[in-house]
Structure 1
Amino acid sequence: MHSATLSPAARDRSMAVLGSGHELDVLVIGGGVTGAGCALDAVTRGLSVGLVEARDWASGTSSRSSKLIHGGLRYLEMLDFGLVREALRERGLLVQRLAPHLVRPVPFLYPLRHRGWERLYAGAGVLLYDAMSLSSGNSRGVPAHRHLSRRGALQACPSLRPDALTGALQYYDAQVDDARLVTFLVRTAAQHGAHPVSRAQVVGFLRDGARVVGARVHDLETDRVYEVRARQVINATGVWTDDTQALIGADGHFQVRASKGIHLVVPRDRIRSETGLILRTEKSVLFVIPWGRHWLIGTTDTDWDLSKAHPAATSGDIDYLLEHVNAVLATPLTRDDVEGVYAGLRPLVSGESALTAKLSREHSVATPAPGLVVVAGGKYTTYRVMARDAVDQAVRGLGGGLPASCTDRLPLLGADGYVARWNQRQGLAQQHGMSVERMEHLLRRYGTLVDEVLELLRDDPTLAEPMEGAEDYLRVEVLYAVTAEGARHLEDVLTRRTHISIETFDRGLQAARSAAALMAEPLGWTAEQVEREVAHYTARVRAERAAHEQPDDESADAARSEAPEVVPAAALPA
């Protein structure tokens, strides 16, 4: 039996249901990890659910994170033990039950610069971190920490400068393909009966007196506006929360503040190491994270009040990360080593602190008007808890009496049977005439849904060929992104269904035309539309590169804004 797909035809069916005038139980606005989590939570309680996203799934914060599932070691120093325990419980669930195909353990080395006291202090923190993961009600899911001498640390990471450390601690957290997890959440929700539609922008709310009874939704692909009626509406739009609330003129009881974080991507051979790194900076922490044949280096933490759609990394942001990572590397990195750069915005519930790095990552849920629930803040790791709390609030608005959340016991599509499929990877590779490494790549992206991908190869063996200019990916993955994963445009495939845009030095330009050609038939594109998609993506890359040369946020934002949206947003009422 095939899983639910986010095909073009499935999108049309979902839009028809939403616009039919039939009242839903819940309409969720926002297709990031929290909104997708809300849709899955609500539909698995037996509710009828719609989910709309103005752009592509995970196109905002949820595809531009550090790609970590972690408890947050630095929150221990803030004595935020509840948040850490909660996040560690969610880490264990994701690694072991909910999404083992997308979330896996990753080691980090913490270099010690002082003898004696620092090992005791940092060691106590990591010991508490491990202990809290065991006491969170779920087993740890990752190996325990260990202490290393300087020699042991240099064996694990030969690229470290010997004079940059006296020893080290090594501990484990987990990493995730953030954009893909959101896609799997949306597909799992659809499998249970939800109606998801991307490129569908909320342009207003429907009211019955003071009560919110739905939303006006502009289908940006067809330029039609629908009235979608729902007994409860959940606003899960992250850094756009205040903008969405402005459509109703209601006080959201809290404001959401955006903090910009940027990451660099460099080839794996530039840093010789078997482990990731975590380093202290004067403002926060810096991670060097293994990512396939690459390293992710991040992040910054600065206030941002410009374009939310396309936060831009400046020249200073890039230099900041290079300076801090080079402080511990024997062979410094240069700008020529940087394959990709991406910037994202964290949605922080505003507090009294002037520094975004000091704002709590705990989430807030409120009901600013009858029929409307708002959820904001939080962190990627705890998306499921945020979704549960938001749907709990919506259920109260429905009169209660519904089942409790069951998503802590609900594996996502691709998770059931994954361990067995992983153990069979050598036989699978031989059966389909590919290397074991290639099969591992597919299993880590699709889990047991890899069978659907491999089925496409039987119909067209040429789809097993690597993508031109991006050989880590197969041509079949582009086709599957359109026919099953909801990709509507070239940038959806190159930046979120794959990560070609940040994993190649040309930012995906060589792969763009062949990818667009593969997308053309299932999306019904003409030759002119193919050219338009390639031109748009080329302009995007040019604008991002120009932004990276700018000295400040304002000029970087202006440079990035030179590239128009592939699908322009609808005009909102003044």
Structure 2
Amino acid sequence: MGISTGEASARLSPQTRRAALEAMEATDLHGAELDVLVVGGGVVGAGTALDAVTRGLSVGLIEQRDLASGTSSRSSKLVHGGLRYLEMFDFGLVREALEERGLLLTRLAPHLVRPVPFLYPLHHPWQRPYVGAGLALYDTMAAAGAYPRGVPTHRHLGRRQVARIAPDLRTDELSGAIRYHDAQVDDGRLVLTIARTAAHHGAHVATRTRVIGFLREGERVVGVRARDLESGRELEVRARVVVNAAGVWTDEIQELVGGRGALHVQASKGIHLVVPRDRIRSEAGFITKTATSVLFVIPWGRHWIIGTTDTPWDFDLAHPAASRADIDYVLDSVNAILREPLGHEDVEGVYAGLRPLLRGESEPTSRISREHTVVTPVPGLVMIAGGKLTTYRVMARDAIDAAAHSLRATGNVEVRPSITDEVPLLGAAGFAARRNQRVALAHRLGIHVSRVDHLLGRYGTLIDDLVELVRARPELAEPIDGADDYLTAEVVYAVTHEGAQHLDDVLVRRTLISMETFDRGVHAAEPVARLMADELGWDAARVAEEVDHYLRRVEAERLSQEKLTDQEADEALVGPRRVVDVGPDS
């Protein structure tokens, strides 16, 4: 393995993708092997690659679509301990998650993860001691962890105080509220940054590469057969251990290897709505229970994210659909606590994601544990499933700990202990200094300081890359036409440094234009595609194809969101016409 250093090693680009595939395939041609091959480019897969490479192992990561293209870009975008798990007496999970929250906030990713305030409304006087005791325990467990808490402690509020903080929250039936803090993150950017950090330390990362089979020597898995979805070429990648971190695709991977039965994953659908910030006047978000799930109203820049549902999903795993019933349920739930109800016309964006839950015998998905499990169904294959975004690092550590047994047995490979609690993600080192230099950075870029704040929250100290890009090409300091929260420089950077290969990658994951604009990014599609074309060598026909695919995707999603049932929504989204599967994101 060649150890990479310097800023260039952190790039994910078409060139580095090709080099990664060549390097992984060359291990077979030269009779060598990777120590670890990770299958899956979500938060657990990226975290596993980072854990392995920072232990000194040679590592490859392949993902069939884009980084974070599934569950890991469609969450509630919270880094939290999980208050409701206290009610399930799952204290170990809560303690573990709170430790990881503190670690991300204060050491690993302070540029990406930030505190967010919530109000927990109290409808009856008896709730105050009950909820207050729970939040006191929550804060105590966070303070007792191995890392700083990173957020303020909870505070009790009377009804008048609640009315001042949240004028649009109905207080006529409230006895008050409790204000507490958790943390939030752009989940897709977190995954991207973890993957780039892994690449920086020497991991080979290749997206759009699908596993189509496993290489076997007797009972042992010794690698995979894969298809490069960009070229159609098939290749073999040999590895001493393959780690499957495919999330909701776990059962499908098990079928390929004949190890079905080791893990059973239930896909649980959660949908979220995005509405403009001015629709709800409040300085804090809200959390409250509904009949079947927990309702979060989360501040998100110039928007609110409102969710979620928690229902089984038995249809297309790549494209979960939000039905009209889902949207009505979330609107009805939030309107029960607001003075002025929200309507469908207030909804800017809708997104649906699938949680990979370890299947219970007969439990509803809202009761299935978010704890994770690591198994080795056949020699040379480690599978990990379950868990939650917040605890990705612990899951990754456990996966490589399990892989270590095979590595020591088969190759006499030294496997050092995990050190990812000491490895800040790219953009974290020096972030406090850059934040203090925000005014000077605004002058250098020729933009308003509020835009610099936005960039710092997305890139941290990697904002220096964007500064250099704009200095070389001043026109890139202009906002994107149709999505002026983002600069055109960010589109170019997404291609040259962040592995974006298709229009969807930029509009849906590198930025959140698809969910933060009322037109779902339709107006921005062509300007963004033209910017990408300059970097990727697309001709006019390819630009038109990318734009057409994206517009049909938006059309299909809007149609699915008018259907009443999951089955109807799925058929509208990926039915006979296969609208969203025609083109780049298939």
TM superposition score normalised by structure 2:
0.96
- Partners of 1:245 and 1:251 within 8 A in 2: yes
Q: Which residue of 2 aligns with 1:291?
A: 300
**Alpha-carbon shift at residue 346 of structure 1 (Å):** 0.2
Q: Deviations over 1:351-409 (max 9, x none)?
A: 12430000000000000000000000000000000000000000111117421000011
Distance across 2 between alignment mates of 1:316 and 1:86 = 35
Q: Which residue of 1 aligns with 2:22?
A: 16
Alignment partner for residue 403 of structure 2, among 390, 394, 418? 394
Work out whether 1:103 is the aligned partner of 2:116. no
In the TM superposition, what are the counterparts of 1:151-300 in structure 2 within 5 Å?
151-300=160-309
Q: Which residue of 1 aligns with 2:417?
A: 404
Q: Deviations over 1:450-480 (max 9, x none)?
A: 0001111111111110101100000000010
Q: Which residue of 1 aligns with 2:66?
A: 56
Distance across 1 between alignment mates of 2:100 and 2:584 = 37
Letter in 1 for 2:12: L
Distance across 2 between alignment mates of 1:494 and 1:14 = 25
SS at match of 1:482: helix
Q: Name structure 2 gaps, 5 residues minimum.
A: 1-5
Distance across 2 between alignment mates of 1:376 and 1:2 = 33
Q: Which residue of 2 aligns with 1:552?
A: 565
Distance across 2 between alignment mates of 1:28 and 1:293 = 37
SS at match of 1:277: strand
Q: Which residue of 2 aligns with 1:5?
A: 11
Letter in 2 for 1:54: Q
Letter in 2 for 1:2: E
Q: Deviations over 1:270-298 (max 9, x none)?
A: 00000010011111210000001000000
Q: Which residue of 2 aligns with 1:565?
A: 581
- Partners of 1:149 and 1:167 within 8 A in 2: yes
Q: Name structure 1 gaps, 5 residues minimum.
A: none
Letter in 1 for 2:253: T
Q: Which residue of 2 aligns with 1:507?
A: 520
Runs of 4+ deviating beyond 3 Å: 566-570
Q: Deviations over 1:206-247 (max 9, x none)?
A: 000100000001000011000000000000000000001111
In the TM superposition, what are the counterparts of 1:76-87 in structure 2 within 5 Å?
76-87=86-97
**Alpha-carbon shift at residue 250 of structure 1 (Å):** 1.0
**Alpha-carbon shift at residue 130 of structure 1 (Å):** 0.2
Q: Which residue of 2 aligns with 1:417?
A: 430
Distance across 2 between alignment mates of 1:216 and 1:454 = 41
Aligned length: 569
Q: Which residue of 2 aligns with 1:481?
A: 494
Distance across 1 between alignment mates of 2:496 and 2:443 = 26
Percent same amino acid at aligned positions? Answer: 63
Alignment partner for residue 498 of structure 1, among 504, 507, 511? 511
Q: Which residue of 1 aligns with 2:3?
A: none
- Partners of 2:371 and 2:387 within 8 A in 1: yes
Q: Which residue of 2 aligns with 1:68?
A: 78
Q: Which residue of 2 aligns with 1:446?
A: 459
50 and 220 in structure 1: CA distance in 2 versus 1, 3 angstrom threshold: same
SS at match of 2:60: strand
Q: Which residue of 2 aligns with 1:428?
A: 441
- Partners of 1:69 and 1:91 within 8 A in 2: yes
**Alpha-carbon shift at residue 563 of structure 1 (Å):** 1.3
Distance across 1 between alignment mates of 2:580 and 2:267 = 22
- Partners of 2:223 and 2:236 within 8 A in 1: yes
SS at match of 2:468: helix
Q: Let me know the Cα RMSD of the aligned residues.
A: 1.1
Distance across 2 between alignment mates of 1:118 and 1:557 = 40
Q: Deviations over 1:308-328 (max 9, x none)?
A: 000000000000000010011
**Alpha-carbon shift at residue 567 of structure 1 (Å):** 4.8
Q: Which residue of 2 aligns with 1:520?
A: 533
- Partners of 1:201 and 1:569 within 8 A in 2: no
TM superposition score normalised by structure 1:
0.98
Alignment partner for residue 44 of structure 1, among 31, 43, 54? 54
Alignment partner for residue 555 of structure 2, among 505, 528, 542? 542
Alignment partner for residue 318 of structure 1, among 324, 327, 330? 327
Letter in 2 for 1:9: Q
Q: Deviations over 1:106-143 (max 9, x none)?
A: 0000110001x210000000000000001122221101
- Partners of 1:339 and 1:502 within 8 A in 2: yes
Distance across 1 between alignment mates of 2:250 and 2:107 = 31
SS at match of 2:520: coil
Letter in 2 for 1:176: V
